[in-house]
Amino acid sequence: MPVLKAFLQAKQQARDDHKYALALEKATEMGVPGHWVKRREHLSLGWVVGKGAWGTVYRCRYEQQQYWDGNKSYVAKLISPTGMRPEEATQLQNEILLWSTLEHPHCVRFRGVIFDVKGGDCFLLCDYMSGGSLLNRQKAQRESNAPPPRTEVLVAELLQIAGGALHLHERGIVHRDLKSDNVLIATDGRLCLSDFGLARLVCPRGDMTSETGSYRWMAPEVTLHKQYGLPCDVYSFAMICTEMVTRTVPFAGTEPVSAAGKAAMERWRPKLPEDVPAAIVALCRACWRQEPADRLTFEQIRESLASYAAPAEPLEAPVARTAAEAHAPASLASYMGADADEGSVRLVARPPFIEHLSGQKGVEGCEDLTVSVSVKSRPRGVSPQSTITLFAEGDDRNTDNHASRETRSQSRPRPNRSSDV
């Protein structure tokens, strides 16, 4: 019996080795590096986690976990090429090639691929995200009437999403389907980008397939069949941001195709609640601008959010400033007159870094002005997209009567000091 058992085991091992050799050949044809190809006999499938257009996702166990990080949970996405169109097969190949190059704490980690040459199936292996999707979390919070997220939590989570997207963009990869359903939550609470099936390397000429992605999150240039590139992801990021403060999908109540059309041709944008911090409002509007070239980059987004989240430092001491110098400000401190109280700001001329300005008469004939500030490099004590209060001489040239509603009013009487940074 021991001899027979050994013979059968050797025979099975030979079969498995032959299958693995065929899988490596398949990987070579697809351009997939051989070290990503795993052996089918080491994979054990568990229960179904979810189903998508291309296949079914299972919890799984891979016996040779020493290849990875030890005792972690994984999932296997079973994809069957049966009925798959040629362009979809190309997308699958593209997903494997691009996803395998990503290694970032806020991108779902690719763990390998298994080719079942005989059956034609393919398994994509990755980490298990036990928290589900951001979309499902927002739905649960909405149904339970949970309080809105604290600003520091919102900023921290947006930083994670922006960090993952920046990792893609630094490699010249555009995701093309950023949305809350493709942001997954790890066991430790991290937000991670997922589903790289539509991702691709940016074409230098911008010649990429139009109307690619999900309509509610789709950038105008993609909807309108124009050339597009990395900025389309920035627009989608803005839509995710609106979801996180409203807990509803963009343009809820409007059909997806109609919503994309109105956003592209009529410049529709989601309505933000009045209690959303001015910094988040400014960030959304800087990211969903109609023209791709006018949007922020993810590097700028990350710097802006990181600066907003940084502990506030005391304002610099007042600095004397001449009227001639007032037209080329260097920082907020440049607007503090030599005779002003420490912490107050004397507005000499409208600073170029101020985007929105609204005014109302304050105490003793001065203007109590609330402004949205957007600066490229943060002055000490001031965050980009912050809301501050300026006191200036009651002069019409310093007011902007057509300021948009994104400026938050804080016009209650107060002493001649600025403490709302």
The rounded distance, in Å, linking the Cα atoms of 332 and 177 is 39
What does each C-alpha distance from 225 to 46, 178, 238 come to in angstroms? 42, 18, 20
State the residue for tokens 């959304």.
284
DSSP conformation letters of 159-215: HHHHHHHHHHHHTTEE-S--SGGGEEE-TTS-EEE---TT-EEPPTT----SS-S-G
Sign of the torsion angle spanned by Cα atoms 380, 383, 388, 391? positive
Partners of 359 in the beta sheet?
A: 369
The rounded distance, in Å, linking the Cα atoms of 268 and 289 is 11
The rounded distance, in Å, linking the Cα atoms of 295 and 114 is 40
Closest CA to 362 of 331, 399, 403: 399
Which residues lie closer than 8 Å to 277 by C-beta, 6 or more apart? 151, 387
Exactly one of 121, 127, 177, 294 is catalytic; name it: 177
Helix (H, G, I), strand (E, B) or coil at 130: coil
Long-range own/partner contacts, residues 188-192 (CB < 8 A, 24 or more apart): 189/131, 190/105, 190/106, 190/160, 191/106, 191/134, 191/157, 191/160, 191/161, 191/164, 192/105, 192/106, 192/107, 192/108, 192/129, 192/160, 192/164
288: which 2 tokens?
């969903």
Helix (H) or strand (E) holding 257: helix 256-265
DSSP conformation letters of 301-323: HHHHHHHHHSPPPPPPPP----T
Residue 301, classified by CB atoms within 10 Å of its CB into exposed (0-12), middle (13-18) or buried (19+), is buried
CB 47 within 8 A of CB 61: no
Q: Has 341 been annotated as catalytic? A: no
C-alpha 126: how far from its chain's center? 20
Residues designated as active site: 177
